[in-house]
Structure formats: C-alpha cells, structure tokens
C-alpha cells in the first residue's frame, strides 16, 4: 500500500505508476478537485498553489506530455492553465485514477511505524470532514509541490516598514486592475514577475522591474517559428553542451541568446553570464522595454515613505504598489524535520528524490526539482523509478554513497548555477531523465536503433527529446511510442496551420540522412 500526498501532476503520475507496477496507491488531496498548480481558483486557498488566470505554460505540449499520453493534436502548442487542467482530467480518466483519489482529505502527519527498521512502514493520519483517520502504509510518495508557502524576506529590504503604499507577494496576484493608474515596482525577475509586470504595464502609469542579477530571455517562438524547447532540447545539442568545458558551453549559449537582442542594452544581461541561470520565457518583455512601458532597474537598496532607492542609482523612484516575486519556501508540515532535512531552501535528497538516511527506502519526494526543461516528464520518470524501488525491482546504493553524491552535486551546482537562485534544485533536463531511465531499463539506445530502425534513431538523436522516447523499451513499454515520436511535428503544426496558401507544402524540420550518419558517428567517438 502506497500513500500519495497530493493530486496535482506529480500525484497523478505517481498514482498511475504505482498501478502499473501492481502496487495499491491511495492519493490524498486536501482540496475538492485534482490539478494542483494548474487548477485556477479566484480565491486563494491555504496550503495549495495559487495562479493567475492568464498563466500559460512555458514548455510546449509535445515536450511536456506524460510519456504514454500525448496531448490532443488540436490543443495549442503552449497551453493556457485551463487546457492543462483538462489534459490532467483526461489522463485521470484514461488510466482510471479517480477511484484511487480521496478528495477533501488533508494529510495531518506521516510518522515512522514502531517497527520501521524492519518493515519500513508509515503511520499516516488524515482528516476529512472534521474526522481524523490513521492508516498504515508500506510506502509514501510526497507530491505536495513547492509553490504553496511564499517566501517574503522583508528583512532584506530596508525601510519597507515605513513604506506607505501597498505591497504583496506574487502569490496574491490575480488580475491587473489592482494596478490601474498606479506606479508599480516588481521585485524579482522570475517568470511570474515578468508576466505580472507585462500585464500591469497595460493599465499602470509606470512599471519598473528590480533585478539584482539579470537573466537571459527566451521567447516561446524560436527558430523558424518552432517552439523553443523542441529546437533546444535534443540529444545532439545536449551531447555537445555537456562535452564542452562549462565556461565555453555557456559562452556559446550566451552568444546564442544575444542574437535576438542585446541583453546588455535592455538591462537584462546576467552579471555572471557564465553561470547557468534558468532563462526567462516571455514573448512581450523586449518590446515593452523598447516602448518604455517597462523599465529595468538594479536591486532595491532602500524603501522610503512613497518611493524606492536602487543600488547605483542616486535618484528616488516614486512608487505606489510593490509586488514581491521572491519565490517560495520548501516545507513539509506533515513530516517530522528529521525525515527530510531542509537547509537554505535545499532538501538533501538522492537524485532529488530519496532521503539518504532512512533505514528503508520507503519514502520519496517527487517534483522537488527545477529541471532546465519541462517538469511533467521528469516527475513521471521519478514516479516510474520510485514505484520500482518500492516494489524491490530497483535498489539504491549505500547511505554513504548517496550522501557523497548529494554533497558532490551540491558543490558542482554551486559552482555552475550560482548562489542566489535555488541553485541546488537546478538540473540538466536530458541528463537527469536519462539517468533515471537507465535505472529502470527505459533509456533508449540510439546505436541499437540505428541498426534496427534508422529513421527513428535519427529522429530521436537530432530531433526533440520528447518523453515518448522513454516508452520505446523496458518496463512500461508503450506500443504507440514510435508513432508518437514520428508524428510529433504534425501535432505542433495542426493547431497553427489553419490557413494553407495555394501551392504551399508542409514545412517541418528535416533531417539530412547522410550528414546525420556522419554526425552520429562523431557522437559515437564522444562515447554517446
């Protein structure tokens, strides 16, 4: 029996993967519906994520899909939150997950059973309708997410206590009418911060974004109009990027992102551009800066009664409203602190999943990771691996080996990812997926496919690394995986090519077979 905490994307994937392995999951969801982060409500509910109605996914549908369940072809390439929720409902119905979900049930506590050292079991106390119930489970998957408890470090902003205007965390934001005619300051330049600034600028008198570090900015619309992630996340490009020295790799990336526009001229260039930063995804910001609707400023030095001072800027900036886009705190209120140790926003977990110190590997955390790519395929792969560990088909290394790896990874990530942006949660998307897939025997072999199915081999090496690749073989093999890979561009073009001029032909990214074979041989030399 497996207790799954939360019925968002991670919890649904966890429930489905448990069923695939013959386990008995019970998914507890404190709200009255599934969907987690992607379910919009006008009011803010305690203990669950809150989003604004205009939120659109930053990753394309083909790269974001669960590996055995493509999005409908008529869905747009980048999805409004309502359609992403619709997809999760379809997923729930397709795999009959609803009967395993208990809505309106809050997990109050999860504690080791008295005989944990031998059984690995957990006592799970839940509450529904004012009544508490205690059950024993053989394992637990924590899928409660990390966007519920806002981080609002007001002590880092001198003078905020005397500021007479309004201020709030981005979690409180719903509609831009609150900014009508106001002078708005957005503190922080993550994706939510930029989204809010863009929306505010349409009704506000003035909008300023304060950032102490800058950021690279990408558009959803990438080369030749294709989705950014389908162009950028390929096995070939990942191989090149991970084979080059880090500084050189990211110098090339820096050059690439500056081709669209010069980030320095727009006040966006990261201070340490050689450090790996999560890029922003926004289609409007450059033009809004160019037209003066949004101003970029350095970090906040001090708040005054009705204004703010920025570092290296002598003049005060009058403001009426401040939106703090300062991220979230990782918390597990139903767990004892000794189970998952959180220090400086970082939980020490093997492969971002398993606590390293438990006597039995029967508790796992899903989704506590910020991959440089789509999240849903990552949490699904985590769930596939975890369910097989719970079943005894996969085994973890010793505690000392896991702890050494966690510590070493932390050192490397501090080196390459910088110190100020949840660095230890950042992970190279394809490398991480391949690692977990190899644990369960689901990593595709390009060289083997080259001998048996050259067309598919070239497609998965040079084309987008869509999640269907991880259903070509191994446990959970899906018969439709090959066709899903070969038709992925059809599903991208379907919702956009709604008018076809006379005499035109389909235009998909093509593979030059001869060049492909040569490059693939070069990849073999690299040890791919």
437/443 Cα distance (integer angstroms): 5
How many CA atoms, within 13 angstroms, populate the side-chain half-sphere of residue 423? 15
Identify which has the larger pLDDT, 329 or 4.
4
pLDDT of residue 276: 53
Do residues 328 and 192 lie in contact, with contact meaning Cβ atoms separated by under 8 Å? no
H helices of 104-164, in order, are 116-119
CATH topology match: 2-148+329-435 vs 152-219+260-326: yes
Give residue 177's pLDDT band: very low, low, confident or very high (50, 70, 90): very high
Beta bridge partners of 500: none
Task: Supply the DSSP symbol for 120.
Answer: -
Q: What is the mean pLDDT of the chain?
A: 90
Euclidean distance between CA atoms 174 and 144, whole angstroms: 22
Q: Where are the domains of the chain?
A: 2-148+329-435, 152-219+260-326
Q: What pLDDT band is residue 46 in, cutting at 50, 70 and 90?
A: confident
pLDDT digits (tens, 9 = 90+) for 415-462: 443 433 344 445 789 999 999 999 999 999 999 999 999 999 999 999
With 90 as the cut, is the pLDDT of residue 251 above it? no
CATH architecture, range 152-219+260-326:
3-Layer(bba) Sandwich (3.50)
Across 114-118, 252-256, 379-383, 481-485, least confident range: 252-256
Six token digits for residue 25: 């999951």
Give per-residue pLDDT as tens, 462-514.
Answer: 999 999 999 999 999 999 999 999 999 999 999 999 998 887 665 555 544 44
Closest alpha carbon to 492 in 519, 463, 516: 463
Taking the C-alpha atoms of residue 526 and residue 528, their distance in angstroms, rounded to an integer, is 6
Any idea how long the chain is?
528
Give the pLDDT confidence score for residue 292 in this predicted structure.
Answer: 97
* Cα distances (Å, whole numbers) of residue 346 to 146, 222, 285, 357, 367: 11, 33, 31, 16, 13
Q: What are the contacts of 484-488 at 24+ separation with CB within 8 A? A: 484/70, 485/456, 485/459, 485/460, 486/455, 486/456, 486/459, 488/62, 488/230, 488/463, 488/464
- CB of 467 closer than 8 Å to CB of 67: yes
- The CATH number of the structural domain formed by 2-148+329-435 is 3.50.50.60
pLDDT confidence of residue 268: 93
Q: Rounded to whole angstroms, what are the CA distances from 305 to 159, 178, 385, 475?
A: 8, 20, 54, 62
Tell the burial category of 292 from Cβ atoms under 10 Å away from its Cβ (0-12, 13-18, 19+).
exposed
Q: In the chain, pLDDT over 90 holds for what percent of residues?
A: 76
């Amino acid at each position: 029996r497996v207790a799954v905490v939360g019925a968002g994307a991670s919890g649904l994937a966890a429930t489905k993967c448990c069923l695939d392995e013959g386990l008995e999951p019970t998914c507890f969801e404190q709200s009255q519906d599934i969907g987690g982060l992607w379910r919009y409500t006008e009011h803010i509910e305690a203990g669950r994520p809150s989003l604004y109605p205009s939120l659109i996914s930053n990753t394309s549908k083909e790269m974001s899909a669960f590996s055995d369940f493509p999005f409908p072809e008529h869905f747009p390439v980048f999805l409004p939150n309502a359609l992403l929720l619709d997809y999760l409902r379809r997923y729930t119905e397709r795999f009959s997950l609803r009967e395993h979900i208990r809505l309106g049930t809050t997990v109050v506590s999860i504690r080791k059973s008295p005989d944990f050292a031998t059984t690995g079991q957990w006592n799970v106390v839940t509450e529904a309708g004012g009544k508490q119930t205690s059950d024993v489970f053989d394992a637990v998957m924590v899928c409660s997410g990390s966007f519920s408890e806002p981080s609002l470090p007001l002590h880092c902003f001198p003078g905020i206590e005397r500021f007479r205007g309004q201020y709030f965390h981005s979690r409180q934001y719903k509609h831009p009418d609150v900014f009508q005619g106001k002078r708005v300051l957005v503190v922080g330049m993550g994706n939510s911060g930029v989204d809010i600034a863009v929306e505010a600028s349409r009704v506000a008198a003035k909008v300023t974004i304060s950032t102490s570090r800058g950021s690279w900015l990408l558009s959803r619309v990438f080369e030749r109009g294709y989705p950014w992630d389908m162009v950028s996340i390929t096995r070939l490009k990942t191989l090149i990027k991970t084979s080059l020295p880090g500084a050189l790799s990211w110098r090339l990336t820096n050059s690439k992102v500056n081709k669209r526009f010069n980030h320095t001229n727009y006040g966006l260039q990261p201070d340490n551009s050689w450090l790996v930063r999560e890029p922003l995804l926004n289609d409007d910001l450059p033009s809004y800066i160019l037209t003066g609707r949004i101003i970029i400023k350095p970090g906040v030095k001090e708040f005054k009664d009705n204004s703010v001072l920025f570092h290296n800027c002598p003049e005060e900036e009058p403001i009426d409203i401040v939106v703090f886009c300062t991220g979230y705190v990782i918390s597990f209120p139903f767990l004892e602190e000794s189970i998952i140790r959180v220090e400086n926003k970082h939980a020490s977990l093997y492969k971002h999943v398993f606590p390293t110190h438990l006597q039995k590997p029967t508790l796992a955390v899903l989704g506590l990771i910020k991959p440089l790519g789509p999240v849903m395929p990552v949490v699904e792969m985590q769930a596939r691996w975890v369910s097989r560990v719970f079943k005894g088909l996969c085994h973890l290394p010793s505690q000392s080996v896991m702890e050494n790896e966690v510590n070493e990874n932390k050192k490397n990530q501090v080196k390459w990812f910088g110190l100020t942006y949840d660095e230890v949660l950042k992970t190279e998307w394809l490398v991480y997926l391949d690692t977990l897939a190899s644990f369960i025997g689901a990593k595709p072999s390009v060289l083997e496919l080259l001998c048996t199915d050259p067309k598919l081999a070239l497609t998965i090496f040079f084309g987008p690394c869509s999640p269907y690749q991880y259903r070509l073989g191994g446990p959970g093999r899906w018969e439709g995986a090959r066709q899903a890979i070969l038709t992925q561009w059809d599903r991208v073009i379907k919702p956009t090519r709604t008018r076809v001029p006379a005499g035109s032909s389909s235009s998909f990214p093509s593979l030059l077979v001869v060049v492909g074979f040569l490059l693939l041989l070069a990849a073999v030399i690299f040890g791919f």
